[in-house]
């Protein structure tokens, strides 16, 4: 008798007692994300922590997200926008802005590739989301996960899980989503256009660039300083030549550590009651729309620049204007070399690609300025 009482007590305190259909669905979702990350190599550095965070938070009665639970403390860094900003420092330390400095006109392609952000903004409002939720959803079109998390935590934290999963999923799917859009908007002759070699960029230019961009963007749009300023700080560590230890730390130990905690924090928002809603499906679909139109916007503006330059600019590089660095630039290079093996566009595509990082941060800062004041 005592044995059965003890067994019943164990069962009542086990996770099985609190397991719901929603938990089961989310555990399956976590499994699918782990498969995509591990089996297919889709953004594994972030999808693995996100998926495992989702798995942890959907095990009933664990207490891991309660007031003194581990994930609740981990979530502090996401709640207060610490992780996305630190990740921007690491991205800056990893990024070479020389292609953008060598051909500054490609900055316009990074701006044009924000088209999907504003289309999704209006689409989300039509579907019934508040303007702050719509802004958080729209920024997915920039293909920049940290910016999406940063803006969403400030404006609509209740939809963080869906926004983050959509943003990083579409970043991972860049090689599948972008090529059909690029082919639809370019001809084979367009894709074969050869561009002149980029000019060398001096050490002085490399050092001054992050300083000038920080001051200029900060004075024009102060709300962009946390993202652009720290991005440029990371780049200054890379380029100044006297902080190599800090540069390597920003690129490696710091970036890797914060990536783990950010992924777990995002996964912790994917509990069944909050994630399994009709709004989540809408957010994921709107994110896809935003990403497609951002790719189209950059490519179409590339077509305009091709005409204005007398055929000297390959319009494909406009598609690299989204923030997915360097994946979008690599997609352009692969598409070009598939048809024209001797044509090299990677460095030309990197110009709008890194411009897209700045452009998405500026778009987020603009939304913060307009919608929170």
Q: How confident is the model at residue 145 (pLDDT cuts 50, 70, 90)?
A: confident
Q: How confident is the model at residue 13 (pLDDT cuts 50, 70, 90)?
A: low
Confidence of residue 18 (pLDDT cuts 50, 70, 90): confident
DSSP state of 143: -
- pTM for the whole thing? 0.89
DSSP structure string for 112-134: HTTHHHHHHHHHHHHTT--HHHH
* Distance spanning both ends of the chain, measured CA to CA: 66
145 Cβ neighbours under 8 A, 6+ residues apart: 46, 164, 167, 168, 171
d(CA 333, CA 329): 6
Contact 207, 239 (CB under 8 A): yes
The arithmetic mean of pLDDT across residues 140-150, rounded, is 87
Q: What is the pLDDT of residue 172?
A: 76
- The tens digit of pLDDT for each residue in 283-322 reads 999 989 998 999 999 999 999 999 999 999 999 999 999 8
CA distance 108 to 304: 11
Confidence tier at 182 by pLDDT (50, 70, 90): very high
């Amino acid at each position: 008798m005592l044995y059965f009482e003890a067994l019943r007590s164990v069962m009542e305190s086990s996770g099985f007692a609190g397991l719901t259909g929603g938990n089961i669905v989310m555990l399956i979702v976590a499994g699918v994300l782990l498969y995509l990350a591990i089996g297919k190599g889709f953004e594994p550095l972030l999808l693995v922590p996100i998926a495992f965070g989702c798995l942890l938070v959907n095990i009933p009665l664990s207490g891991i997200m309660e007031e003194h639970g581990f994930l609740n403390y981990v979530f502090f860094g996401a709640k207060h926008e610490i992780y996305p900003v630190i990740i921007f420092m690491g991205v800056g330390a990893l990024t070479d802005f020389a292609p953008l400095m060598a051909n500054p006109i490609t900055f316009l392609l990074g701006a044009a590739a924000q088209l999907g952000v504003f289309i999704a903004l209006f689409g989300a409002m039509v579907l019934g989301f508040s303007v702050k939720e719509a802004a958080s959803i729209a920024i997915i079109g920039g293909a920049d996960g940290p910016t999406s998390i940063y803006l969403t935590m400030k404006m609509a934290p209740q939809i963080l899980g869906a926004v983050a999963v959509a943003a990083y999923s579409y970043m991972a799917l860049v090689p599948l989503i972008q090529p059909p859009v690029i082919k639809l908007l370019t001809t084979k002759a367009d894709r074969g256009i050869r561009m002149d070699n980029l000019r060398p960029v001096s050490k002085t230019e490399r050092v001054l660039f992050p300083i000038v961009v920080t001051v200029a963007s900060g004075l024009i749009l102060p709300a962009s300083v946390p993202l652009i300023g720290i991005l440029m700080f990371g780049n200054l560590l890379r380029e100044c030549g006297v902080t190599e230890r800090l540069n390597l730390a920003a690129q490696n130990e710091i970036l890797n550590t914060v990536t783990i905690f950010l992924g777990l924090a995002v996964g912790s928002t994917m509990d069944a009651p909050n994630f399994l809603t009709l709004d989540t499906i809408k957010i994921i679909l709107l994110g896809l729309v935003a990403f497609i139109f951002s790719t189209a916007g950059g490519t179409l503006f590339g077509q305009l620049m091709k005409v204005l330059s007398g055929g000297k600019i390959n319009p494909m590089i406009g598609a690299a204007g989204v923030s997915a660095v360097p994946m979008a630039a690599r997609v352009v290079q692969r598409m070009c070399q598939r048809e024209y093996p001797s044509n090299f566009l990677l460095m030309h595509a990197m110009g709008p690609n890194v411009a897209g990082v700045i452009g998405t941060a500026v778009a987020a800062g603009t939304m913060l300025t307009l919608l929170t004041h």
